[in-house]
């Protein structure tokens, strides 16, 4: 199979887990539990990382295989990554740092590179945006450069890009696929919350009130002040979309708890009414490791995007976005989104 040539914007925890994930599949493919070991004939091992951009001293100028383990990244190490021959390049800082990361990250003193030129030189066909959630200006800036370089774009961050009709239009006119926004985790609170509500609703239960809140210890959670409003809007909308009636829904992220490290505690609470007006409550605490949680769905999105490129499709690709992201242009119930994705990868949609 030809390789899938992928570039990364941001070499943080998620990038670390993604790169390790590809090598984990290479080394121990037989043991890896993936829902889709192959998509259109592509396996995770067919992904090749060809360029990466960051701003942090200790990451810029390093080989990608080393940069993924540089501070303040705290994603667990679960695979050996050999030298990749890809030097992390310096991008513009813009709003990339927040009040917390400003204190712990030193900006690399090198001049920034011409990002569009470097993407073109690398031969990347898909760029994945893994900037901090609050770096909205930087995300939009890179989206422009990716268009200029002529690559497909996957936006894993909560910045609204793929679900914005004006960006859809620009990527469509450029003949390039656009996927996003805000990646769904494999065992994430949003997925679990949606699955619980869908299951209850299918049995005729009336949900009255429900919330989902979390705290985490990764640098991404330290950016919660800037990303709070967007995260809350996206998560609440995606949860509300599974119910065919209005209920009181609150879903968002609340705070940074440094000693949690790479772990996240998510709290889901549901109250409702079933037969005869009987009331019930459900309370769940989900404790997960953040970065590896992003990997399986991101591997699916990358391979799905490769198919979109091979099929010459452009603009927002709903079957991939609705399955893999919290805020696609149209939010679908989980089983519908999965069905659409499966039809898409098998060439039926
Ligand atoms: N499970 C998950 O990890 C998950 C799930 C869903 C969405 N996401 C999203 O993925 C994104 C990345 O998450 P993360 O945990 O890796 O974050 P992170 O904070 O660990 O990594 C962000 C990286 O971007 C770099 N950066 C900052 N400004 C930059 C700039 N201007 N140019 C280039 N690089 C810059 C930082 O130095 C850092 O290396 C976030 O937006 C997050 O919301 C992650």
Report whether residue 328 contacts ligand 1, using a CB cutoff of 6 Å.
Answer: no
DSSP per residue, 23-56: HHHHHHGGG---S-S-BTTB-GGGEEEEEEEE-B
Q: Do the strands 278-289 and 248-256 form a parallel or antiparallel pair, or are they unpaired?
A: unpaired
pLDDT of 27 > 80? The answer is no
Q: What local confidence, expressed as pLDDT, does residue 223 receive?
A: 85
Nearest-CA residue for atom 28 of ligand 1: 96
Phi, psi of 250 (to 5 degrees): -130, 125
Ligand 1 pocket residue status of 54, Cβ below 6 Å:
yes
- Contact partners, residue 144, CB within 8 Å, separation at least 6: none
- Is the CB–ligand 1 distance for residue 11 below 6 Å? yes
Residues 27 and 161 in one domain: yes
> Measuring from atom 33 of ligand 1, which residue has the nearest CA?
54
Same domain for 320 and 256: no
For the stretch 145-159, pLDDT in tens is 999 999 999 999 999
Test site for ligand 1: of 95, 132, 265, most ligand atoms within 8 A of the Cβ: 132
Do 268 and 322 lie in one domain? The reply is: no
How far away, in angstroms, is 222 Cα from ligand 1 center?
A: 11
Cα maximum dimension of the chain: 68
Tokens of 225: 């002040």
Confidence (pLDDT) at 29: 56
- 179 with 303, same domain? yes
pLDDT tens for residues 96-138?
999 888 999 999 999 999 999 999 999 999 999 999 999 999 9
* The 206-216 sheet, strands edge to edge: 248-256, 206-216, 263-274, 278-289
Residue numbers of the domain that contains 193: 189-290
Query: Do 71 and 170 share a domain, yes or no?
Result: yes
Q: What is the pLDDT of residues 45-102, one digit of tens each?
A: 999 999 999 999 999 999 999 999 999 999 999 999 999 999 999 999 999 999 888 9
**pLDDT computed for residue 225 by the predictor:** 85
Alpha helix segments (H runs only) across the chain? 13-28, 64-67, 101-104, 115-122, 136-149, 165-174, 189-202, 224-240, 290-310, 318-324, 334-345
167 CA to centre of ligand 1 in angstroms: 21
Among 29-38, 303-312, 327-336, whose mean pLDDT is lowest? 29-38
Structure tokens at 331: 């939010």
Number of domains present in the structure of the chain: 2
12 pocket-lining for ligand 1 (C-beta < 6 Å)? yes
Domain end among 290, 305, 337 = 290
Are residues 307 and 285 part of one domain? Answer: no
One domain for residues 134 and 278:
no
% of the chain residues with pLDDT over 90: 91
Are 286 and 305 members of one domain?
Answer: no
164 ligand 1 Cβ < 6 A: no
Q: Is the CB of 219 under 6 A from ligand 1?
A: yes
The encoded tokens of residue 334 equal 């989980």
| Nearest C-alpha neighbor of 233 from the set 327, 324, 154, 318 | 327
Ligand 1 atom at minimal distance to the Cα of residue 135: 28
Going from the Cα of 129 to the center of ligand 1, the distance in angstroms, rounded, reads 8
Reference 338, options 300, 309, 292; nearest CA is 300
Q: Is the dihedral of CA 321, 327, 329, 331 positive or negative?
A: positive
Q: Where does a domain end: 290, 315, 333?
A: 290
Check if 94 has its Cβ closer than 6 Å to any atom of ligand 1.
yes
pLDDT band at residue 220 using 50, 70 and 90 as cut-offs: confident
What pLDDT shows up at residue 111? 97
How is residue 284 written in tokens?
Answer: 């769940």
Query: Are residue 22 and residue 163 in the same domain, yes or no?
Result: yes
* 317 shares its domain with 232: no
User: What mean pLDDT do residues 280-293 have?
Assistant: 96
Q: What is the pLDDT of residue 28?
A: 64
Instruction: Output the domain CATH number for residue 286.
Output: 3.30.360.10
d(CA 324, CA 307): 15
d(CA 261, CA 264): 8
Tell me the pLDDT of the chain averaged across its residues: 95
Q: Which two tokens stand for residue 19?
A: 């790169």
Residue 276 CB neighbour total at 10 angstroms: 5
Mark which of 290, 305, 332 sits at the end of a domain. 290
Same domain, residue pair 318 and 329: yes
| pLDDT value for 100 | 87
CATH code of residue 22: 3.40.50.720
Regarding whether 151 and 26 lie in a shared domain, the answer is yes
Q: What are phi and psi of 341, to 5 degrees?
A: -65, -45
Do residues 200 and 273 make contact, with C-beta atoms less than 8 angstroms apart? no
Residue 157 alpha carbon to ligand 1 centre in Å: 8
Length of the chain: 349
């Amino acid at each position: 199979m030809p390789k899938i040539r992928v570039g990364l914007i941001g070499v943080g925890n998620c990038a670390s887990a993604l790169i390790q994930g590809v090598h984990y599949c290479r080394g121990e493919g037989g043991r890896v539990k993936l829902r889709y070991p192959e998509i259109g004939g592509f396996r995770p091992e067919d992904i090749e990382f060809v360029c990466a951009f960051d701003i942090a001293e200790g990451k810029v100028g390093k080989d990608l295989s080393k940069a993924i383990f540089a501070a303040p990244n705290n994603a667990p190490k679960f695979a050996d990554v050999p030298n990749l021959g890809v030097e992390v390049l310096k991008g513009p800082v813009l709003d990339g740092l927040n009040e917390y990361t400003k204190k712990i990250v030193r900006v690399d003193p090198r001049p920034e590179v011409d990002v569009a030129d470097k993407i073109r030189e690398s031969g990347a066909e898909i760029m994945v945006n893994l900037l901090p959630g609050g770096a909205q200006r930087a995300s939009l800036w890179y989206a422009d450069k990716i268009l200029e370089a002529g690559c497909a774009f996957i936006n894993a961050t909560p910045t609204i890009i793929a679900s914005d009709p004006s960006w859809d239009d620009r990527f469509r006119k450029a003949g390039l696929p656009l996927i996003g926004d805000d990646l769904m985790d494999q065992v994430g609170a949003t997925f679990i919350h949606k699955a619980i509500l869908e299951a209850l609703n299918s049995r005729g239960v009336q949900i009255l009130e429900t919330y989902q809140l979390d705290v985490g210890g990764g640098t991404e959670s330290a950016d919660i002040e800037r990303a709070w409003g967007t995260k809350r809007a996206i998560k609440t909308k995606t949860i509300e979309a599974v119910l065919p009636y209005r209920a009181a829904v609150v879903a968002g992220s609340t705070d940074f708890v440094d000693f949690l490290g790479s772990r996240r505690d998510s709290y889901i609470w549901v109250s409702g009414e079933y037969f005869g007006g009987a009331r019930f409550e459900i309370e769940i605490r989900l404790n997960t490791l953040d970065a590896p949680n992003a990997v399986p769905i991101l591997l699916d999105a990358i391979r799905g995007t490769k198919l979109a490129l091979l099929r010459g499709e452009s603009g927002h690709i709903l079957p991939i976005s609705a399955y893999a992201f919290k805020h696609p242009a149209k939010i679908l119930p989980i089983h519908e989104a999965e069905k659409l994705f499966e039809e898409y990868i098998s060439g039926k949609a």
